[in-house]
Amino acid sequence: MEYEINAKRTLGGISPMIYGHFIEHFHRQIYDGIFDPENQLSDGDGFRTDIIEAMKRIRVPIMRWPGGCFVSSYHWRDGVGAVRQPAFDKAWRVEDPNTFGTDEFIKLCRKIGCEPYICTNAGTGTAEEMSDWVEYCNLDNEGKNAKLRIANGYSRPYRVRYWSIGNENYGAWEIGAKSADEWGRLTAESAKMMKHVDPEIELSAAALADINWNVNLLRSCGQYLDWISVHQYWDMMPEVNNPADYGACMAFTSNIGRAVDEVRGILTAMRLEKKIKIAFDEWNLRSWHHPNVHTVVQGKRREDYITPRDKNDDNSTYTMADAVFSACFLNEMIRNCDIVGMANFAPILNTRGCIYSYRDGIVLRGTYYVFMLFTEFMNGEAVDVWGDGEPELMEVTSKSSRRVSVRTVDIAAARTADGGVSVSLVNKHPTDEKTVTLRLPGVFGRAVMYTLNGDSVDSYNDVGREEINVTEREAGDVNGTVSVELDAHSVNILRISKA
């Protein structure tokens, strides 16, 4: 296979926020996860220091919170102040102690060094409640909500820049679901009030690749929006925990960019593509497992609807399939960097996250190392890549038992700030190595290959078991061309330092 990379032909700047993350009040993400005051590994604020350090190592740029479905019945005032009353979370049917709220979230973001991104309650909440939350976070001292923050011990405003109106309010599963017309009206009034509080905030609103929903939203609220939110999971298993095998996961890579293409088309048709960017602010290969909750007939015993959530934390689920898929997703976001400015892996911790925590430590799943490589090397400006001839295809069997043809190699390239070039090369083939020749006119320098892999497609990391990791090897000098070997089922970054 041969590809040409024109390092002078840029597609746009790669926003660091496409490597963002997400955390929700679901199962062990917050409590008995990042926020665990009784754990010996936690600091004086109750945060697990080992998890914080792991998040810092992958340079988390932005964190979305508090949901997710949780937010659509969450009232932010219950989670601030010295006296907090537990509340029943109607989305996930558990009691939330409210000991982790807005102030704790801001502390978490500051410890990591990332931007906070707050998703508001557009389910049971109101436009006034959403704008009051902006007051609490961003005003110096005007009004009762800023004074409440000061009384709670936080004299300086948080200056939260990124806000989302709602979560998946288009879905019947969401508390406070809305019709397209209802959504357009609510988002317009909410956005108007929120920007009256702080005109410098950037607003997103829940959307999906649906013409009717988005046209209503953009006609009603487009003048206020800076972002449009898109969510997607490919391997759906909310009711039955039956993870797709490696081949089926590769079949999912054939349509990663479909939602981006469709939303881009709507924005372009409405002449908003220069004003509003796409925030792919909740994504993962595999959906969360939470049976008998988002259904008409609810589970009655904890064993029916809470205990099964532990299956999300079976580390053997997260194999090279997850790593390869995630790298292909990030490549797609890089190739669409002119319209995609943010993406948030859901979640960062436990459930389907890239980090798994237990009482005495953490496990870094394969997807963690994908983020480590991309945040380190795939930055700067995306540059054009094209193949010489027809792309090599491989046939795989989808989860629905259809035969699907997918490209064997997925590629994206970047011209980095230091003048070098980085190339992301993903070999999806389960068993075969692939040789790739890259033509890079005018590029000279020393090449190093970083490879993420395991012995098999089913390799995984667990407590006391590390089968997926990164290796480094010299790839020779580049004088306008270079050939590299890609291991089977591998994620690779070729880093070419400027001569």
CATH of the domain at 440: 2.60.40.1180
Residue 345 pLDDT > 90: yes
CB 80 within 8 Å of CB 99: no
Kindly state whether residue 271 falls inside one of the protein's structural domains: yes
**Bridge partners for 349 per DSSP:** 355
Q: Which two tokens stand for residue 108?
A: 């978490």
pLDDT of residue 461: 98
Kindly state whether residue 8 falls inside one of the protein's structural domains: no
Kindly state whether residue 54 falls inside one of the protein's structural domains: yes
pLDDT of residue 210: 82
Count of CA atoms in the C-beta half-sphere (13 A) of 162: 23
Which of 377, 397, 423 terminates a domain? The answer is: 377
Measured on CA atoms in the order 335, 339, 342, 343, is the torsion positive or negative?
A: negative
Q: Are residues 323 and 401 in the same domain?
A: no
Residue 58 pLDDT > 90: yes
pLDDT of residue 227: 98
Q: Are residues 65 and 116 in the same domain?
A: yes
| Number of domains, the chain | 2
Q: Are residues 350 and 405 in the same domain?
A: no
Helices (H), 170-319: 180-197, 211-221, 246-252, 258-269, 302-305
Per-residue pLDDT tens digits for 307-340: 999 999 999 999 999 999 999 999 999 999 999 9
Q: Are residues 59 and 110 in the same domain?
A: yes
Whole-number Cα distances in Å, 284 to 252, 303, 336:
11, 26, 18
CATH code, 335: 3.20.20.80
Q: Tell me the catalytic residues.
A: 168, 282
Q: Are residues 429 and 354 in the same domain?
A: no
Q: Are residues 220 and 179 in the same domain?
A: yes
pLDDT of residue 83: 93
Q: Are residues 127 and 245 in the same domain?
A: yes
* Distance between CA atoms of residues 424 and 218, nearest Å: 35
H/E segment holding residue 197:
helix 180-197
Q: Are residues 356 and 448 in the same domain?
A: no
Q: What average pLDDT does range 41-49 have in this prediction?
A: 98
pLDDT of residue 208: 84
Residue 344 pLDDT > 90: yes
* Distance between CA atoms of residues 488 and 418, nearest Å: 31
CB 243 within 8 Å of CB 235: yes
Q: Are residues 122 and 22 in the same domain?
A: yes
Q: Are residues 305 and 345 in the same domain?
A: yes
Residue 499 pLDDT > 80: no
Total length of the chain: 499
Kindly state whether residue 459 falls inside one of the protein's structural domains: yes
Q: Are residues 428 and 464 in the same domain?
A: yes
Confidence label for 382 from pLDDT (cuts 50, 70 and 90): very high
When the pLDDT of each residue in the chain is averaged and rounded to a whole number, the result is 97
Which of 346, 377, 408 terminates a domain? The answer is: 377
Q: Which two tokens stand for residue 241?
A: 């925990």
- DSSP notation for 33-70: TTB-TTSTTB-TTSBBHHHHHHHHHTT--EEEES-SGG
pLDDT of residue 323: 98
Query: What are the φ and ψ backbone dihedral angles of 376, each rounded to 5 degrees?
Result: -80, -40
Per-residue pLDDT tens digits for 406-433: 999 999 999 998 889 999 999 999 999 9
Kindly state whether residue 4 falls inside one of the protein's structural domains: no
Per-residue pLDDT tens digits for 139-165: 999 999 999 999 999 999 999 999 999
Kindly state whether residue 124 falls inside one of the protein's structural domains: yes
pLDDT of residue 209: 76
Q: What average pLDDT does range 450-462 have in this prediction?
A: 98
Which of 377, 411, 437 terminates a domain? The answer is: 377
Kindly state whether residue 7 falls inside one of the protein's structural domains: no
Q: What average pLDDT does range 387-402 have in this prediction?
A: 94
Whole-number Cα distances in Å, 156 to 67, 160, 161, 200:
25, 12, 15, 17
- List the domain range (segments joined by +) for residue 104: 15-377
Kindly state whether residue 6 falls inside one of the protein's structural domains: no
Q: What average pLDDT does range 155-181 have in this prediction?
A: 96
- pLDDT > 70 in the chain, percent: 100
Q: Are residues 478 and 355 in the same domain?
A: no
